[in-house]
Amino acid sequence: MSAEIIDGKALAATFRGQIADEVNQFKTQTNVVPHLTAVLVGDDPASAVYVRNKQRSCEKAGIQSTLQRLPAETSEAELISIVESLNTDSGVHGILVQLPLPKQINETAILDVVNPLKDVDAFHPENVGLIVQGRPRYLPCTPYGIQQMILSTKMETAGKHAVILGRSEIVGKPMAMLLIQRGQGADATVTICHSRTQNLNEIVKTADIIIAAIGKPEFVTADMVKPGAVVIDVGINRVNDRLVGDVDFEGVKKVASAITPVPGGVGPMTIAMLLKNTLTAAGIQSGCQ
């Protein structure tokens, strides 16, 4: 038996096509071009991959995209003032500050100053609060994309045990929040594991759905996976100039019922959801929603 490969690249292309149509309609109705500005401080390898693909996808969907590259030595005060000027620039609808930030910059301090209406990552505490309460303004791109991928498998998630590896604000925590909500592609029973978790292998072995987001190449191996589990690989790791996930794909695909590849899995879906959020942001700021 070999797992169904969840083709994130193809699924994302379908979503991007729909979004491009909606962007077109939006432009005709409002004369406004949705505009996303990303800020990249220094150079993180996963961020570099993201930036490249994001720029291209925005262009193809008719969304204007700007990248502000800042040197690794940029101070927290300098970055705050750049974010503040984007906040008040009415031509910019979405602001995305690439994480991780260099050591001298406190990430929370930066995310707190992003205008919540322009926060297409959904990292601002107001947006996080709305997600936790089940009334999201924006859905966090990576978890939202993953939920769409799980939905595409037609697997029932209600009552299933989802084990998330990693507790970051960008993937692990918001993923748990989406999966415990009521409704389609949710209603799961969720466990979050992290670097202090005891008996991690035994916990993972009980999962119907495994979501690996720890940034450790090929950490999840076949012996940790219950036969028939759905395995989502979020990891983006560079190993000898090759992109590998957090899951040992070749081993795990022999026991899982469905699995996402890296590349071509979660990454492209993250970008598709970012485009969707940028269009939503332009709508909110043009009084269309």
- Neighbouring C-alpha atoms within 13 Å toward the C-beta of 18: 8
Q: Residue type at 251? A: G
Element of type H or E holding 245: none
Judged by beta carbon, residue 42 or residue 263, the one nearer ligand GUE is 263
| Residue of 54, 160, 173, 253 marked active site | 54
Say whether residue 110 binds Mg ion (CB under 5 A): no
x/- contact string, 12-51, with ligand NDP (CB under 6 A)? ----------------------------------x-----
Clarify whether 54 is annotated catalytic: yes
Q: Interaction with ligand NDP in 203-242: which residues (CB under 6 A)? A: 213-216, 234-237
Give 171-198 as a 3 state SS string. Answer: CHHHHHHHHHCCCCCCCCEEEEECCCCC
The owner of tokens 């990576």 is: 142
132 — alpha (psi -120 to 50), left (phi > 0) or beta?
alpha
* Residue 236 annotated as binding site: yes
Stretch that binds ligand NDP, among 114-122, 176-184, 195-203, 223-231 (CB under 6 A): 195-203
Neighbours of 98 (CB within 10 A): 23
Say whether residue 11 binds ligand NDP (CB under 6 A): no
* Residue 167 annotated as binding site: yes
Clarify whether 7 is annotated catalytic: no
DSSP characters for 210-225? EEE-S--TT-B-GGGS
Element of type H or E holding 8: helix 8-30
| Residue of 9, 21, 29, 121 marked active site | 121
Say whether residue 42 binds ligand GUE (CB under 6 A): no
Say whether residue 280 binds ligand NDP (CB under 6 A): no
* Residue 168 annotated as binding site: yes
List contacts with Mg ion (CB under 5 A). 101
Return the active site residues. 54, 98, 121
List contacts with ligand GUE (CB under 6 A). 46-47, 49-50, 53, 96-99, 121, 141-142, 170, 236, 243, 262-265, 267-268, 270-271
